[in-house]
Every structure is written in structure tokens, then in C-alpha cells.
Amino acid sequence: MSLTDTDRRNFLKKAGGSVLAVVAGSSIASSAIRSFAAESAITQTKETQAEITPQKALQMLKEGNSRFVQGNMIKRDLMRQVKETSGGQFPFAALVSCIDSRESGQLIFDQGIGDIFNARIAGNFVNDDILGSLEFACAAAGAKLIVVLGHTDCGAVRGACDDIVMGNLTHTLANIKPAVAAVSGYESNRTSANDAFVKAVTDKNVVLTVERIRERSPILRDMVDKGKIGLAGAVYDVHTGKVTFM
């Protein structure tokens, strides 16, 4: 069957219209995605921080880690956030984490500049200085959540398990020794060569650190008891990028 010139023109008009509709639909969808990402990547202000509850703050971190694991991180204009936070900061959470280079809190929770405080020390324990920093973060600066974040294959935990003695590190590892002592069993091999033992000590160290925050900071304990802030423990897996909350 042959097509007349009129038939061809009508066909091309219809086909062109369909293509334009698809392209337009795709453009609208892309614009919506970009718009959503832009809206999601806000810089925290006093007003947005005030609206975040401890439960919401925890959910924000969980959702951020899920994006990180899936490779769907929010696109941020970091220099814009630098300028927007130059006059003040209003983070919604505070982390106590290890100095391990594989465990950057801002990255693994997909957060931007001005979103979270991060106190880092080998073995993610707390002392008076860290506790003072957390009191500043929550009581003075308005953060709604504290997360103690351990991680798998922690060198500090392995060092404590092996009773390593080396300069100032000896004193640092002493803060993890209570977790080593608190883990029962594993009598056949209570060293870093036993991965199961190391994991148990890692988890216990997080639990004990959470307990110490409550015990040693009346200010933070009162805020937790009144529901003004949340307090949680978690472990980051250096093999998968996933954070598991306890």
C-alpha cells in the first residue's frame, strides 16, 4: 500500500507529536527530580533545626546511609552551603566516631556542610573533652540526636584486644579495655586474630559508650530523659558501607 503526500504529512505530525510528548514528559520528570534534590539538599537554619525531632533526626541519618549504599547521594552545592553557614551553624545531629579514614560521617550519612557535628577519636569512646563537646552540640547548638558510631575491622579495638603498648596510644586503648573485659566467652582465642571476638568487642564498646554518656553527663541525661534529644549506637561496615543501628 502506498502513502500519499498528505498521508505522510499526517503521519509525521502524529509521530513528531508523540516524540515531543515523550521528550517533554522526560524533561518534566528530570526537572522534578532535580527540583526534589535541590529541595532536599537544604542548608540547616535555626528554623529547620527547630522543626526536627530526635526521631526525625535518626530517620534522616538512616535515609542518608541508604542513599550512600545505593549510590544515590544528593547533589549539593557545597560552596553555596559554605556561604550560607558562614554566619552560624545549626546541625541536627552529633556523632562520636572513630578517626578511621574509611568512616567519614558526612559521607556515609550523605549529609552536607552544617548538617552534623562529628567528634572523632580512635575507638569512638568518650572522655571529659568529648562529653563537653557533645554538651555544646546539644545544649548550646541545638543538635537533636547523638549517635555513637563504631565500625568493623577497627584497628583501635584490635589493639585493645591484643593489649598493645605503644606511647600515648597505650592510654587511648585503655578506654576500650572495659569492652574487652565485658565480653565473655571466646576463651580459646581472645585476640584480634578471632574476628568474632573483635566484632563482639566492637559492639560492646558502642553499648558501653552510650551508657557512659548518660552516666557521666547530667546535662545530656536530662535532655534524653525529657525527650529533647535522642541517643543511639550504631556500627558501620567498612565492607558494605551500611550502618546498622542497635
Residue 52 has pLDDT above 80, yes or no: yes
Q: Is the dihedral of CA 220, 221, 225, 230 positive or negative?
A: positive
Give the integer Cα–Cα distance in Å for 67 and 73.
5
Say what the pLDDT of residue 12 is.
42
Say what the pLDDT of residue 6 is.
53
Residues near 149 by Cβ (< 8 Å), separated by ≥ 6? 95, 96, 97, 98, 103, 105, 124, 206, 233, 234, 235, 236, 243
Buried b (16+ CB within 10 A) or exposed e, 81-113: beebbeeebbbbbbbbbbebeebebeebbbbbb
- The alpha carbon of 50 is separated from its chain's Cα centroid by a whole number of angstroms, namely 20
- Quickly state the pLDDT bin for 23 (edges 50, 70, 90): very low
- Quickly state the pLDDT bin for 41 (edges 50, 70, 90): confident
Say what the pLDDT of residue 149 is.
98
pLDDT in tens, 157-176: 999 999 999 999 999 999 99
Give the integer Cα–Cα distance in Å for 51 and 92.
10
- Under a CB-based contact definition with an 8 Å cutoff, are residues 199 and 114 in contact? no
- Quickly state the pLDDT bin for 101 (edges 50, 70, 90): very high
- Under a CB-based contact definition with an 8 Å cutoff, are residues 147 and 95 in contact? yes
- Quickly state the pLDDT bin for 97 (edges 50, 70, 90): very high
The residues with which 235 forms a beta bridge, in sequence order, are: 150, 244
Say what the pLDDT of residue 7 is.
53
CA distances in angstroms from 206 to 66, 70, 167, 170, 179, listed in the order given: 21, 26, 25, 20, 9
* Helix, strand, coil percent values for the chain (each to nearest 5): 55, 10, 35
Residue 107 has pLDDT above 70, yes or no: yes
Four-point Cα dihedral 58, 61, 63, 69, nearest 10: -140
In percent, the amount of the chain with pLDDT more than 90 equals 83
Q: Residue 74: in which H helix or E strand, if any?
A: none
